[in-house]
């Protein structure tokens, strides 16, 4: 993590995330063509602001939530210190944009992204620890090699702005994090995931973080445009709702961001706005051998080097 000699510029971070939320909402609303996002500006207990933006029942997106949060508090919640116990009790600020998109079409993948910044100050010594975290991941219901390779190609390019070129590391961390141990399967095809990132100092880490944030739309929009016109029926819809259950299970059982939001006193309605509007569980269901549903498990729900041919 950063140190007192490398103090961050939280105002620049906040300004970037303000703009990021606006760009993402505008782009998704344009793709959807429906009523767009509705939102609120809610003061946070202890200081800060929560600005949820939610699109519901659109022609393309059944639900999309893009939430900005600026939280301040006197002591970091347990979800933020379980791997950094030395920071327990420190005054902190956390600024983030998190989003989830649940398309109506089973052929358009669900997509999640989160970009966050923390700083924690020791009030006695004045020492400031800071770090960036974030990334994006893709959860298809029907797999397409072209989409998966393009997704990861865009992720790699975003990471190449940093001297350490951390794509391989961030991809491995994503594969490990978005894994359901109780199911023994990945949530999707992964992407990027990183936390506690301060490598090269504030400017270098900030540039890498901004690059990965800007890459979300560059990765997702082409896939949406390519798949949105494909026809689907009851079979594909039933499989989509079944697979959405995996997202719900991960979000409620494992996701650190959900835990942090609830532990920091965030409005529960905002924290859980990312959950899909419809979902289904089916007892002991198995895909038909040789079916497109079986191909998702066989070819996509496993860690792969999607760029091996590059």
Which of the residues are catalytic?
A: 112
First CA to last CA across the chain, in angstroms? 33
Token output for 203? 């400017």
What is the spatial distance between Cα 185 and Cα 302, in angstroms, rounded to a whole number? 7
Residue with tokens 């979800």: 79
Q: Which of 56, 23, 16, 19 is nearest to 39 (CA)?
A: 56
Tokens at residue 14, please? 């906040």
CA dist 188 → 141, 163, 229 (Å)? 9, 28, 22
Beta-carbon contacts of residue 214 (< 8 Å; ≥ 6 apart):
20, 158
- Overall residue count recorded for the chain in this entry: 310
Instruction: Give the pairing of strands 48-56 and 61-73.
Output: antiparallel
Locate 111 and state its tokens: 């997509």
């Amino acid at each position: 993590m950063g140190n007192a000699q490398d103090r961050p510029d939280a105002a620049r971070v906040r300004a970037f995330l303000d703009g990021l939320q606006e760009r993402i909402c505008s782009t998704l609303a344009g793709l959807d063509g429906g009523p767009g996002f509705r939102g609120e500006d809610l003061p946070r207990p202890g200081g800060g602001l929560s600005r949820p933006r939610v699109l519901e029942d659109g022609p393309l997106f059944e639900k999309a939530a893009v939430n900005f949060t600026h939280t301040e508090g006197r002591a970091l919640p347990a979800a933020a210190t379980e791997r950094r116990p030395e920071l327990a009790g420190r005054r902190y600020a956390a600024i983030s944009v998190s989003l989830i998109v649940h398309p109506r079409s089973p052929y358009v993948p669900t997509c999640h992204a989160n970009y966050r910044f923390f700083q924690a100050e020791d009030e006695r010594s004045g020492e400031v620890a800071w770090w960036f975290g974030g990334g994006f991941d893709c959860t298809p219901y029907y797999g397409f090699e072209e989409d998966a390779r393009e997704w990861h190609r865009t992720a790699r390019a975003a990471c190449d702005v940093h001297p350490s070129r951390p794509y391989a590391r961030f991809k491995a961390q994503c594969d490990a994090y978005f894994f359901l141990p109780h199911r023994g399967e990945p949530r999707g095809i992964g992407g990027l995931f990183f936390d506690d990132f301060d490598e090269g100092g504030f400017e270098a880490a900030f540039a890498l973080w901004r690059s990965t944030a800007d890459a979300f739309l560059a990765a997702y929009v082409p896939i949406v445009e390519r798949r949105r016109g494909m026809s689907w029926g009851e079979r594909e819809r039933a499989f989509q709702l079944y697979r959405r259950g995996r997202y719900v299970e991960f979000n409620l059982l494992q996701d650190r961001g959900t835990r942090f939001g609830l532990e920091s006193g965030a409005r529960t309605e905002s924290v859980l706005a990312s959950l899909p509007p419809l979902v289904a569980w089916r007892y002991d269901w198995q895909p038909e051998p040789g079916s497109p549903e079986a191909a998702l498990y066989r070819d996509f729900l496993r860690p792969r080097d999607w760029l091996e041919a590059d």
